[in-house]
Chain A
Amino acid sequence: MRSSDLGFRVSIGVFAAALLLIVVAIGVTLANDSSLSLQKFGVNFWGTSTWDPVAGQFGALPFIWGTLYSSVLALLIATPVALGIAVFISELCPQLLRAPLIFLTELLAAIPSIVYGLWGIFVLVPVVRAIETNLPESMRSLPLFSGPPFGVGMLAAALILAVMVVPFTSAVAREVLKTVPMTQREAAYALGATRFEAIRAAMFYARTGIIGAVMLGFGRALGETMAVTMVIGNNPQVSLSLFAPQYTMAAVIANEFTEAANALYLSALIEIGLVLFIITLLVNMLSRGLIWSMARQLPAKAAA
């Protein structure tokens, strides 16, 4: 290697190192700035549900509950739809429709979160409220539908999250399905499989990658802020009810960060940010790992 080439490598390597530095700096800074709350509350922070900034009592259980519950619900709604779209685009649809459909689903991903939120407040929430008020009385006794119908609440948040997650999951699932060798499908058809059976075989072949795609959608849902903040009702409570106004980790940071009047309050909010960072980091690592391992195993299997 020429010395000028080494110089080039080092000088652009500095810029590449900036990315590593930023990720490390985020973790270190958040951990550092939340030390006050970490020391004062320890593990109790995540086990108690009193959130009373005036009294200096901070328990973050309702937020982590709201984040996980809304994301899981969104995933339950979004996953079948997203996989259906991925299969439709990559396996079923006429060539002519493919590009427009990809464009439209990408558009769904490109619409800003704040626009989803605006639409959620003025269009989705009234619709959800109408559904909630017209629910048969017999179902109201279920814990899932208990409480007064507000419109804003877990159901509205889960629905809007689902719409936002679908394009991410379907795009990755589509890529994953594309890597399944044609011979897999051809072999299935040759054995007399129906379309469904051939696609099922392809999906089974790609299962690791598809689970990775679903996890990636989960990671998106966990961190989604604006749209959820605007429709979930922002009430810190742990409830199974879809009608209950609840709160998420991202939403409490968005709403209360500028109001945090003392160091402990601010530090508690930063700790929520730290944990959100760690959770999304783990989910993303796991999903990327799954997608990578799928991509890696392919040539080996094709050779076997």
Chain B
Amino acid sequence: MNPSRTPAPRKVLSALFVAACGLAVILALVPLAFILFFVISQGIQSLNVDFFTHNPRPVGETGGGMANAIVGTLILTGLAATMAVPIGILSGVYLSEYRGSRFASAVRFAADTLNGVPSIVIGVFAYAVAVLPLGHFSTLAGGFALGMMMIPIITRTTEELLLLVPNALREGALALGATRARAVFSVIVPAALPGIITGVVLALARIAGETAPLLFTSFNNAFFSTSLMQPISSITVQVFAYAISPYEDWHRQAWAGALVLVTIVLICSVLARIAASRVARVRGQ
């Protein structure tokens, strides 16, 4: 026995465990680096002004862009936000103001459930509700599908952020004779507003990247359209169509589209992080 020379097996095991955990982090970061590397390097080669200003060209003609799809994504996310922001924020207010009630638990449960519903199922539902009755694909149906994905995200973020508002603020407002509604909308919500806006931006970034709910709601459109009752193109569906096509030029366009999507996500995440740290600092003082 020479304890000073050979470390105890327990210590070796512990060191191995620590190393394995570090390795796990690297294992997850490698694909992230690879994805970002390929999206940026492949995307930059095909990203040019035409990509933002031209519509898709038919097979055989090189060039062209995704102007219609970019506008389509903007309209679709805009529609989704119009539907989801009021419902999401007000239900979030309800959950934080009346958090103990049975009804609140049920709503909270519904929000978490809806959050976990696969996006393709949301698409099927939107098809049944908004495409079948109209008889055709439409921008409206796509916006509806995206809106339903956005609602639970905003609800839960709003609730969490409102719970962080110090109770003294609420009590102060009520003590001054404010009604519950006045206290909520003039004091509590404004106090949490930067965080709520951050949450909305993150939710927008997430649904802007959704493809599955749009495949058979807003479908796709080779032409420039802003009509709510017509099918519309979106960056994600266009990237999908190009990616599974056999044409080299379309593959390049797909990478450019992916780069635009990743850039949107990246910018929103960084902005959210900056906003969150600023909120934390203000609160800390």
A-B contact pairs, 10 of them (CB 8 A): A4-B179, A5-B180, A12-B91, A29-B129, A84-B25, A85-B24, A103-B269, A112-B210, A115-B239, A216-B116
| Residue contact A112 to B10, C-beta cutoff 8 Å | no
Give the residues in chain A near B14, CB-CB below 8 Å.
194-197
Give the residues in chain A near B138, CB-CB below 8 Å.
none
Distance (whole angstroms) from the CB of A87 to the closest CB of chain B: 5
Q: Chain B: interface secondary structure?
A: helix
| Residue contact A29 to B211, C-beta cutoff 8 Å | no
Q: Chain A: interface secondary structure?
A: helix
> Assuming the A-B contacts A19-B152, A222-B118, A280-B118, are A87 and B21 also in contact, with contact meaning beta carbons closer than 8 angstroms in the complex?
yes
| Residue contact A110 to B95, C-beta cutoff 8 Å | no
Beta-carbon contacts of B238-264 to A below 8 Å, as 1s and 0s? Answer: 011001100000010011001001100
> Assuming the A-B contacts A30-B128, A114-B209, are A121 and B265 also in contact, with contact meaning beta carbons closer than 8 angstroms in the complex?
no
Instruction: Identify which of B45-53, B59-67, B165-173, B212-220 touches chain A.
Output: B212-220
For the complex with contacts A8-B179, A82-B24, 11 further pairs of A-B residues with Cβ separation under 8 Å are A85-B28, A107-B32, A108-B31, A110-B205, A112-B236, A112-B261, A114-B258, A122-B42, A220-B116, A225-B211, A253-B120
| Residue contact A85 to B212, C-beta cutoff 8 Å | no
| Residue contact B87 to A15, C-beta cutoff 8 Å | yes
Give the residues in chain A near B97, CB-CB below 8 Å.
9, 12
Q: Which residue of A lies closest to B27 (CB)?
A: A81
| Residue contact A288 to B13, C-beta cutoff 8 Å | no
Give the residues in chain A near B32, CB-CB below 8 Å.
104, 107-108, 111
Give the residues in chain A near B35, CB-CB below 8 Å.
111, 115-116, 119
On chain A, the number of residues with a Cβ less than 8 Å from chain B's Cβ atoms is: 85
The answer to whether A101 has its CB under 8 Å from any CB of chain B is yes
The answer to whether B162 has its CB under 8 Å from any CB of chain A is no
The answer to whether A113 has its CB under 8 Å from any CB of chain B is yes
| Residue contact B31 to A23, C-beta cutoff 8 Å | no
> Assuming the A-B contacts A81-B27, A88-B24, A288-B112, are A5 and B117 also in contact, with contact meaning beta carbons closer than 8 angstroms in the complex?
no
Instruction: Identify which of A57-65, A235-243, A269-277, A296-304 touches chain B.
Output: A269-277
> Assuming the A-B contacts A16-B90, A123-B34, are A110 and B265 also in contact, with contact meaning beta carbons closer than 8 angstroms in the complex?
yes
Q: Which of B25, B127, B155 contacts A19 (CB 8 A)?
A: B155
The answer to whether B121 has its CB under 8 Å from any CB of chain A is yes
The answer to whether A142 has its CB under 8 Å from any CB of chain B is no
The answer to whether A294 has its CB under 8 Å from any CB of chain B is no
Q: Which residue of A lies closest to B23 (CB)?
A: A84
| Residue contact B116 to A280, C-beta cutoff 8 Å | yes
Give the residues in chain A near B148, CB-CB below 8 Å.
22
| Residue contact B254 to A118, C-beta cutoff 8 Å | yes
Q: Which residue of A lies closest to B22 (CB)?
A: A88
Q: Which of A101, A116, A276 contacts B121 (CB 8 A)?
A: A276
| Residue contact B125 to A15, C-beta cutoff 8 Å | no
The answer to whether B111 has its CB under 8 Å from any CB of chain A is yes
Q: Which of A111, A116, A166 has the most CB of B within 10 A?
A: A111
Distance (whole angstroms) from the CB of B117 to the closest CB of chain A: 6
Distance (whole angstroms) from the CB of B108 to the closest CB of chain A: 9
Q: Which 6 A-B pairs have the closest CB atoms?
A: A223-B118, A84-B24, A112-B209, A194-B14, A196-B14, A284-B116
Q: Which residue of A lies closest to B17 (CB)?
A: A196
The answer to whether B86 has its CB under 8 Å from any CB of chain A is yes
Q: Which residue of A lies closest to B259 (CB)?
A: A115
Give the residues in chain B near A5, CB-CB below 8 Å.
179-181
| Residue contact B212 to A273, C-beta cutoff 8 Å | no
> Assuming the A-B contacts A8-B180, A22-B110, are A114 and B24 also in contact, with contact meaning beta carbons closer than 8 angstroms in the complex?
no
The answer to whether B224 has its CB under 8 Å from any CB of chain A is no
> Assuming the A-B contacts A81-B24, A225-B118, are A118 and B94 also in contact, with contact meaning beta carbons closer than 8 angstroms in the complex?
no
Q: Which residue of B lies closest to A260 (CB)?
A: B216
Q: How far is the CA of A106 from the CA of B34 in the complex (A)?
A: 16
Q: How far is the CA of A250 from the CA of B103 in the complex (A)?
A: 32
Distance (whole angstroms) from the CB of B233 to the closest CB of chain A: 14
Give the residues in chain A near B258, CB-CB below 8 Å.
114-115, 118-119
Distance (whole angstroms) from the CB of B198 to the closest CB of chain A: 13
| Residue contact A119 to B34, C-beta cutoff 8 Å | yes
